[in-house]
Structure 1
Amino acid sequence: MNTVIYYLYEIGGPVLMVIGTVGCTINLIVFSQKSLRKNPCSIYFIAFDIANFFYIYSSLLALILSAGYNVNPSVYNLIICRLRLYASLLFDCLSAFYLILASIDRVFITTRNVRYAYKVVIIGTIFWFVFHSHALIFSDIIQIHYNYFLCYYQLGDYLSFIGYYSIIKEIITLLLLTICGLWSMANIRQTCCGVVVANPKSNSPKDRQFSFMLFINVIIHGLFSLVFVIFLIYQQITQNQVKSIEQQQIEVIIRNLCLFNASIPVCISCYTNLLVSKKFRNEAKKIRLCK
């Protein structure tokens, strides 16, 4: 099992990073085009991809180095340890937060004013930056056994808080994304069938394509996050049990596997957008041809 994780991160990790870096870059360039930037949903997608980019080069990179190359400065330096865990919590949350904002925008499309989208993104970002600052204080380097250390959250009440917080966050995110995604697709289906929906602003082809892109992103995020939610629930249920060194190591391996799995949606958003949206493909072609 250790060997599988080692090769997964040593070989698959860098490949995933390259795919994610290229994908996030293309997304940022396309959604920043004047023809798309006027739509508030595009602002949420830009914020989403910026968060994903930082997640790749903080959380995913740290995992690749530690699990795939046995390079883990966070177990030797407390400041690096705390920054790593803080960044992991923050950018994972921000990525989901921006996706939720985009989902709500697709359902209601309450305003065409992109300034409103900027304000929501800025205020929300500041809030989550401050909210997760506890990780900068209550993270520590823990000795699992002789000559084996782990950068993790402080044991006891704080670890319980992180466990419950992570489970609640993931479940609420999945519920909100599922509800908004289904609602948005129902609106599109009504529009395609000639039914007048409550908000006529959502009838434009561009809005429908934004909705399709978002819906696919929501499905992928939900599927890949579900495994991690199950593992978090198991961890929380068994946290007070006395575990052998072997069991603890197995749980670390499973956790790393779940984290790799959860990183996949962050890296493939661009490619699903290319598959489902003609407008996105056309804008990407223009960029490739330097038009």
Structure 2
Amino acid sequence: MSKETSIISVRFLTTLKEYTGGEICCLEIIHFLLFTIGFYEEPFSSMLNVSNTDLVENLEYLSKQFNRYFPFSIFLFGMVGNILNCFVLSQPNLRMNPCAYLFLISSIANIISITCGLATRVLSGWHMDLAAQNGLICKCRAFVVFVSRTIAFWLIAYATIDRWFSSCILHQRRQMSSLKNSQRVTKIIFLASALLYCQMIYCYDVNITSAPLQCYGKNVVCRFLTDFTYATITVLSPLLIMCIFGLITISNIRHHYYERALKRKAFKVNPNNKTTFKFVSVQQRQRRRIDRYLRHVLFIQIVFLSILTVPQAIEKIYTTLTVNTKKSSLHMTIHKFIYNFVLLLTYLASGLPFYIYTLCGGSIFRNTLLHLLRKMMPNYN
């Protein structure tokens, strides 16, 4: 950055600071981030004669308030949504669908992840986080949260593969989209996820002052292993699978509709079998309609998962690569704030599915939900 531009920017920010009475902590943070990537030649605090200690105190206070209220909102938001998901997806018209089954188990995994993960985040805002004080609770919490989140992600990834199976022209591949296969893959994902994070029992410990959280990897090797595993296997790999098979599924659907448009012929129904043919046709149309809606909400869920979880994966990789870099207290405070923020985004992703299904899942999901509510509250029909 040129000297003239730097002087102009400093004058502008100085004037803004005077106008706001000195309360521009966010601007200072932004400027510090620009400084860390080399956009400025000296820290903002020194340019404006602001004490780094004041910045650290302000940011720590902001983080404390953030951890007190935002996690609790996500907790309620996510728990209500996932519990309703479990009720709706277990209804007879949906539970036999392999994709709906995967959504159901994923919702259960999200409930476990939110319960074990966000409960401690809420308590940490009031200095009552047991996971930061008790080693056994820290290890168990980390293991359960990472395993349940991995299960949820990979179930959605396999749901994308299942939608690809159902959209294939080859009959053999379409047959692979079955409830039995979904149940088998679910068991494999459960076992693989547990084995993947069994090192958490050893690696995680309490009172880790050099990490974003007090309950964190206790040495460099542990942090590298857990952070890299989480970023690549838990987040990026399933998202990559979702994107690849999602695009292939869209291609299959377009090809299928194109062939149907070219080869559509009049179907003559035998009068003796008219009723039977009509019944089969209605059943097929209903299954295709459910498949279409599930495919639609799956693609939307992939978009939200990518937006809300990739930042934490990037942050994990950054933490791993800069583990040996010497950081100032201000830099570490900003890093902790960013870590806590992107961490909560992942819990928000775990709480969104129900609202995606309700808003984007078409009339089938909403009608099933309304039917369930009428059964639960018959007096309000």
**Please, what TM-score do these two structures have when normalized by structure 1?**
0.89
CA drift of 1:176 comes to 1.1
Deviates more, 1:259-268 or 1:182-191: 182-191
Contact 1:85 1:135 survives alignment (8 Å): yes
Counterpart residue number, 2:179: 114
Q: Out of 179, 185, 205, which is 2:244 matched to?
A: 179
Distance in 1, Cα, partners of 2:370 & 2:356: 15
1:102-126 deviation line (CA, Å, top 9, x unaligned)? 1110111343531221121122212
Secondary structure in 1 aligned to 2:199?
Answer: helix
Structure 2 counterpart of 1:9, which letter? N
**Is 2:118 aligned against 1:60?**
yes
Distance in 1, Cα, partners of 2:104 & 2:328: 45
Distance in 1, Cα, partners of 2:96 & 2:341: 39
**Is 2:367 aligned against 1:282?**
yes
Q: Out of 151, 155, 159, which is 1:102 matched to?
A: 159
Structure 1 counterpart of 2:340, which letter? N
Unmatched 5+ residue regions in structure 2?
A: 1-58, 167-173, 262-283, 377-381
Contact 1:39 1:112 survives alignment (8 Å): no
**Is 2:219 aligned against 1:134?**
no
CA drift of 1:51 comes to 0.5
Counterpart residue number, 1:18: 76
Report 1:221-232 matches (<5 A): 221-232=305-316
Unmatched 5+ residue regions in structure 1?
A: none
CA drift of 1:40 comes to 0.8
CA drift of 1:263 comes to 1.2
Secondary structure in 2 aligned to 1:92?
Answer: helix
The verdict on how the C-alpha distance between 1:282 and 1:189 changes in structure 2, with shifts beyond 3 A counting, is: farther
Distance in 1, Cα, partners of 2:213 & 2:88: 43
Deviates more, 1:201-210 or 1:116-125: 201-210
Counterpart residue number, 1:270: 354
Secondary structure in 2 aligned to 1:144?
Answer: coil
The verdict on how the C-alpha distance between 1:130 and 1:266 changes in structure 2, with shifts beyond 3 A counting, is: same
Percent identity of paired positions between Structure 1 and Structure 2 = 23
1:57-113 deviation line (CA, Å, top 9, x unaligned)? 0112212221x2221112221101111111221112111111111111011134353
The verdict on how the C-alpha distance between 1:6 and 1:175 changes in structure 2, with shifts beyond 3 A counting, is: same
- Give the aligned length: 284
Q: Out of 276, 290, 298, which is 1:206 matched to?
A: 290
The verdict on how the C-alpha distance between 1:149 and 1:229 changes in structure 2, with shifts beyond 3 A counting, is: closer
Secondary structure in 1 aligned to 2:206?
Answer: strand
Distance in 2, Cα, partners of 1:281 & 1:206: 12
Q: Out of 114, 126, 130, which is 1:69 matched to?
A: 126
Which of the pair has more CA radius of gyration? 2
Report 1:228-247 matches (<5 A): 228-247=312-331
Report 1:134-153 matches (<5 A): 134-144=199-209, 150-153=214-217
The verdict on how the C-alpha distance between 1:244 and 1:52 changes in structure 2, with shifts beyond 3 A counting, is: same
Q: Out of 103, 112, 121, which is 1:45 matched to?
A: 103
Deviates more, 1:239-248 or 1:74-83: 239-248
The verdict on how the C-alpha distance between 1:213 and 1:143 changes in structure 2, with shifts beyond 3 A counting, is: closer
Secondary structure in 2 aligned to 1:69?
Answer: coil
Contact 2:113 2:148 survives alignment (8 Å): yes
Secondary structure in 1 aligned to 2:341?
Answer: helix
Secondary structure in 2 aligned to 1:184?
Answer: helix
**Is 2:246 aligned against 1:162?**
no
Larger relative contact order (Cα-Cα within 8 Å, sequence gap ≥ 6): 1
CA drift of 1:7 comes to 2.8
Structure 2 counterpart of 1:15, which letter? S
Deviates more, 1:218-227 or 1:8-17: 8-17
Distance in 1, Cα, partners of 2:85 & 2:252: 25
Counterpart residue number, 2:41: none
Distance in 2, Cα, partners of 1:119 & 1:185: 26
1:113-140 deviation line (CA, Å, top 9, x unaligned)? 3122112112221221232111012211
Counterpart residue number, 1:254: 338
Contact 2:146 2:197 survives alignment (8 Å): yes
Counterpart residue number, 1:3: 61
Distance in 2, Cα, partners of 1:194 & 1:60: 49
Distance in 2, Cα, partners of 1:60 & 1:103: 28
Distance in 2, Cα, partners of 1:40 & 1:26: 19
